[in-house]
Amino acid sequence: MADPLRPTSIEDLPSHLILEILSCGKLSVVDLVCLELASRIFRGSHGVFPPNFQSLVDFAAFQLCGSHPIYAPMSPNARNGVFNRCKENWKRVLRFLQSVEQSSNIIETSSGNQMQIRTGKYHTLLIKDSSGYSCGSNLCGVLGHGPETTQCGTFTRINFPSRAPVIQVSASHNHAAFIMQSGEVFTCGDNSSFCCGHRDVGRPLFWPRLVDALKGIPCKQVATGLSFTIFLTRQGHVYTCGTNSHGQLGHGDTIDRPIPTIVESLESVGAVAQIAAGPSYSLAITHDGTIHSFGSGTNFCLGHGLQRDELQPRPIQSFIRQDIHVVRVSAGDEHVVALDSSGFVYTWGKGYCGALGHGDEIDKTNPELLGSLGSHVAVQVCASKRKTFVLVDDGSIYGFGWMAFGSLGFTDRGASDKITKPRVLESLRSHHISQVSTGLYHTVVVTNRGQIFGFGDNERVQLGHETLRFCLKPTEILIPEMENDADCVVSETR
């Protein structure tokens, strides 16, 4: 009998047990690579997996891909497409999937922080280690710091009636929304159109307030448009509220909704995986990779070839005809950018200032592949007013469109120049970017080490620097240390 007290090395463990540990779903692709380099046990075959896999780590990466929420619903053609795009390397496929997931949600940094950044018109919202922060202009109470605050020059922690961790935020023009780990949703800011989901209050909300209409309906994502809001539940259902003048709420009419109301027409097309809100239009991606658009057809943002409003969700046929599985989409003020399951990027809408990245300023009435990115595998797309960012899987970031007070981050170009094709941000080359968000005239990124950099307009201190008017060069943003959590819970009645 083996001595239970004798020290055992990892090489002594059964291969099937090691594979079970590797495939538990808790490890990142970086963890797998480190293990593969650290010990021969992870590099061998050991006869526990098919011969077409190079190592235990390779096989574990394959299994983790199979259970990933982005990969699992993909068709065989889509799966083959991403495998070939990633040069038949399962670790790279897993890196793509994990990067896409993190860039649109909470990112796990190498320093152990959990972070998310979102930019509004003149403000910025941040999640760090389950707490919400905001800086910039407090117009209509969008920062959530009370009526006495006009602006915050540094990231300041937001007080919530609930102690639950914050897991997702959305920033818009004049209102904001927050999702807690419990699935509860809090909103603040301008509620004159009832976009915050509170029918009993037609005034600004200066403190975050729980959306009572969604009690018992846990949400996982929220998207704030101009005077309306979209909510995505954990079950894949979509609710909307606020202004509906163009049908952006998706109910088949133009009647405003004072509280979140389920979008019935999406119930028959399967669970929704992601949502996005433009100024007056909405986008929803179902698990099968289909984009449904509704609302204002101005600037061809709905992707149907016409500038016609759609009062109900309508699938974008060009993607369906080409058997393209879309995994993420970003709604800009006048254009849209989408990411497919192989890391290809598509743009459509108004081409002014080169915001579509095709080397011209021509409008695109339907989605068009952005071929100039070449072999780069994109993991995040981000659109705002006349500019676009694309994050690729090696941590580089590309930008194009209008410089807009330096918010594209190119230090060798003027504050109002146009960049009509994707160009890498050399000023951030030394950093691995994990997430990007861009507002009207400012942009903020988070690195894999948890550093935050901002650039562009800072007149309303939306970059978290009180002494700078604007930043042409990406400048690090520091978060003041908070003394304790005792004062971070406020009364719901405020």
The pLDDT of residue 55 = 78
What pLDDT is stored for residue 142 in this prediction? 97
Q: What is the pLDDT of residue 305?
A: 96
Instruction: In the chain, count H helices and then E strands.
Output: 6, 29
CB atoms within 10 A of CB 234: 12
pLDDT number for residue 469: 85
Residues 6+ apart with CB under 8 A from 174: 121, 139, 140, 142, 189, 190, 227
Q: Tens of pLDDT along 358-411? A: 999 999 999 999 999 999 999 999 999 999 999 999 999 999 999 989 999 999
DSSP of 184-208: -EEEEE--TTSTTS-TT--S-EEEE
How far, in Å, CA of 122 to CA of 459, rounded? 9
β-partners of residue 160 are 489
How far apart (Å, rounded) are the C-alpha atoms in residues 454 and 224? 22
User: Given this model, what pLDDT does residue 486 score?
Assistant: 41
Q: What CA–CA distance (Å, rounded) separates 159 from 314? A: 39
Fold for 318-481, please state it.
Methylamine Dehydrogenase; Chain H (2.130.10)
Which residues in the chain show pLDDT less than 70?
1-26, 35, 38-51, 482-494
Position 1 scores a pLDDT of 45
DSSP assignment of 317-352 equals HHHHHTT--EEEEEE-SSEEEEEETTS-EEEEE--G
The pLDDT, as a whole number, for residue 13 is: 53
What are 287-318's pLDDT values in tens digits? 999 999 999 999 999 999 999 999 999 999 99
How does DSSP classify residue 416?
T
Domain definitions of the chain by residue range: 14-98, 318-481
Question: Tokens 């410089």 appear where?
Answer: 403
So what's the pLDDT on residue 39?
Answer: 64
Q: Tell me: the pLDDT tens digits for 223-241?
A: 999 999 999 999 999 999 9
pTM (2 decimals)? 0.93
Q: What is the DSSP string of 61-100?
A: HHHHHHHSTTTTT--HHHHHHHHHHTTT-HHHHHHHHHHH
Q: Cβ distance 454 to 446 under 8 Å?
A: no
List phi, psi (to 5°) of 107. Answer: -100, 145
